[in-house]
Structure 1
Amino acid sequence: MIYLDNSATTKPDPSVLESFQQVSSNYFANPSSIHQLGGTAEKLLLTAKKQTAEILGTFPQEIVFTSGGTEGNNIAIKGIAVEHQGRGKHIITSDIEHPSIYEACKSLEDHGFEVTYLPVDQNGVVSVNDLENAIRKDTVLISIMHVNNETGSVQPIKEIGEIAKKHPKLFFHVDAVQSLGKVPLKLKDSGIDLCTFSGHKIHGLKGTGMLYVNKRITLFPLFHGGSQEQSRRSGTENLAGSVAFVKALRMIKEREKNDKQHLYDMQSYLIRKLKMMDGVEVNTPEHAAPHIINMSVPGIKPEVIIHMLGEQDIFISTKSACSSKLKDESKVLAACGFGRDRSTSALRVSMSYENTMDEMEIFAEALAKAIKQFKEALE
């Protein structure tokens, strides 16, 4: 099997599964319980937060464990908007955000908020000048993703953070779900107030993740209840999931440090091969994240190629898994200015550190063969 849909989800690492199993078996008590078993579970939870903070260069009290990217994004956007609407009801985001950002912003528009959706250039990147010019006195939140999940385009987060620092009354949220472990991101003194991560994108488990919340920030909680997570996210903590997330986080940061060139080498090889194929258009920009390649084969429905490759145990995707079953056109590619011939025929290859150059060669050959077979069948 050649699995190239890692931006949708990754295969859990065996050691992550082992961590989850051990904690579930041995530290099953509720961390909020006042007996000794509960106290032991609470200590382990605090240790997990300390370890996460050390890895990310933050403080333990700034770590909120969540169920993943969608929840983290909703807590950040709605939590800021509702809590601080007295400051203003204007939000800035982009045209190419993940559905969990876009739909959250759309929901706030129904409650009196005004949202500016910044356009992107042909590389899928927002203009820093456009963003700065969009800031108003009543702007309460900027939410911009770090790496786009469809094209791999990288946003100028550092520059946006510097702009955000000049406006202390607004907050800056980053969706870093796709960049974690592949494209470095500094949190401390960056101007970033909130940042979302997900476990199942880094060989962790589905239903795990975290939200970084700067310690100076107050949020209106999505969940009310037992005041867990400093009242930011009530509900019995998923201790085993949190420990498993930290394990996955530590491992992916090691891979980022030692093996990132491997991702770039595979990406470079594939892009070179794709550009040589008749009828294939590469949509991913030049300076993209190293693990994502977006391409189009105009005239062939993406699902046809996906199923032809799937029969050979090669798995790629079309668009984002969170929108792949919706209407045909890629909203992201349309925002980049691509015509319908390319925006409706997009395919995404997303790699992990586990993939090999041999797999890239086999995939490239299989793709070229599938396209040729389809065209011959039409003749």
Structure 2
Amino acid sequence: MDKRLLILALGMFALGTDSFVVAGVLPAISQSFNIDVGLAGQLTTAYAIAYALLSPTIAALAASVPRKKLMLSGLGVFVIANLATAVAPSFGLALLSRVFAGLGAAMYAPTATGTGAMIVQPEQRGKALTIIVAGLTAATALGSPMGTVIGGLGDWRWTMVFVSAIGLIAATGIALLLKHIPMPPKVSLRARVAPLSDKRVGLVLATTLLAMAGNFVIYTYFSVVFDRVLSSTALFGALLVLWGSGGTLTNLVLSRLLDKFGPRWVLVVMLSVLVVDMALLPWTSAQLWSSVLAIGVWGIAGWGIMGPQQYRLVGLAPTTAPVVLGLNTAATYLGVTAAGVLGAAGLHILGGHNLALFAVLLFALAAMTSELATRSIAGPDDAKTLGFSGP
């Protein structure tokens, strides 16, 4: 396997770990700054919204900047920002540092995926993108639990140092291994957001936003939702591994499911399972055995949404696939942003043990927008792309 791709994936692993790991140390952060858990959860919100809004902007404005320089600059900002979070004396400064961490991630992520496609042969580009994006998936299964355990054994601030260390290793690898990186064609910001004028693309992106908000309204406040069974840091980490591993399992079989049943029916099943799983969570989260089952199902179905969504978008806009996939990433992190705000409100309105009822509503809305996208077809080719015609 090309070592350059592994280094790029390691950078994505650092970014993904930073996205997910705050949820694992949220109680410690709230105690450290003497604030409630809902407010502490806005650290995730600040990172996510900066990442979502700045990614397409920076990709357009920095189109003429050499790729290696832009990635190293992004990782440099990312590493320094996470170290700033680790030493922040107040919550306000910690929140500001998370915005800068999101800026660094926005500089790195689209550049790394584009670089991966440029440094390999055309017939290997699909594999290259899969390897790089796998860094994000691995972050849920490994990075976040590792950071949670580090925070539990020591202090949550060491968790942020851990994230910085991963970013620094990735930057070192890029500096040493990536020599010449071809410049991609320039795509203006207007061209990057142009697909939003297509109603079908807009509805698919709305589905991503709502579904990811449903996932992360629970994940961000995991420690509160499952506090009745979290008896140790090791168990906390193990349950996070279970959730991330569910996504890894889904990714292994998803391509066959999409080819056989089409994206529409995969989404119908996944979202229906999530609605039922979340509706039962106020009761299943009270016992360890039922929590394990609920988290496993949630991981499998929750991560089973992204593949069909990407399948639909590439089918709708094959000539601008990198652009629409970038918009899908932005929608994902806007969903994470919404989850942090909605979850904080839900903790006060419903309480932590009933927070999953918010997720039920979000997944139900995602199912509605998914069906609206399917029915907004213009012809038989669209019907096939969107999975309308069925298996």
**TM-score scaled by length of structure 2:** 0.30
TM-score normalized with structure 1 length: 0.30
* Larger fraction in helix: 2
Larger proportion of strand:
1
Higher radius of gyration, 1 or 2: 1
